[in-house]
């Protein structure tokens, strides 16, 4: 695997973990905390996670970034015959347990262990 593809793959993996974190928090907000002002209970030294959670468009933004990375990987492979995958297919192609181990996380709540500043600056 060449260096560019490897970097794209790493970024996409981290974005998938970040997307899952944001989606999970938004689902909890909609289902359990509708109309209640609840302070987030996750670690967030940079403030990036709180900003993502408070932004209503963050899930869609992360989804778009993931799909653009997927397209870039296909272009890098010079494979025009391959059909563009759907978002849920890309998301399901990653084993989250493997990703947690790879990035030193015990679960989605440890997303702060990722280099969030680097991820955001890469977008």
Q: How does residue 74 score in pLDDT terms, banded at 50, 70 and 90? A: confident
pLDDT at residue 98 greater than cutoff 90: yes
Q: What is the pLDDT of residues 3-25, one digit of tens each?
A: 888 998 999 999 999 999 999 88
Q: How does residue 41 score in pLDDT terms, banded at 50, 70 and 90? A: low
pLDDT at residue 1 greater than cutoff 80: no
User: How confident is the model at residue 39, as a pLDDT?
Assistant: 64
pLDDT at residue 40 greater than cutoff 70: no
pLDDT at residue 34 greater than cutoff 80: no
- In order, the DSSP letters of the chain are --HHHHHHHHHHHHHHHHHHHHHHHHHHHHHT-TT------S--SSSHHHHHHH-TTHHHHHHHHHHHHHHHHHHHTT--SSPPPPHHHHHHTS-HHHHHHHTT-SSGGGGGGS-HHHHHHH-
Domain ranges (residues) in the chain: 3-122
Task: Give CA separation, 85 vs 25, 46, 48, 69, 92, in Å.
Answer: 25, 33, 29, 12, 11
Q: What is the pLDDT of residues 77-86, one digit of tens each?
A: 766 667 888 9
């Amino acid at each position: 695997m060449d260096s560019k593809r490897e970097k794209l793959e790493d970024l996409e993996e981290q974005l998938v973990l970040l997307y899952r974190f944001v989606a999970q928090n938004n689902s909890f907000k909609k289902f359990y905390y509708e109309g209640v002002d609840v302070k987030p209970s996750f670690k967030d030294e940079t403030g990036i996670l709180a900003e993502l959670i408070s932004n209503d468009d963050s899930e869609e933004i992360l989804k778009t970034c993931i799909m653009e990375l997927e397209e870039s990987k296909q272009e890098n492979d010079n494979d025009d015959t391959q059909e563009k995958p759907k978002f849920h297919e890309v998301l399901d192609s990653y084993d989250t347990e493997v990703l947690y181990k790879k990035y030193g996380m015990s679960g989605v709540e440890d997303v702060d262990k990722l280099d969030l500043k680097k991820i955001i600056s890469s977008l």
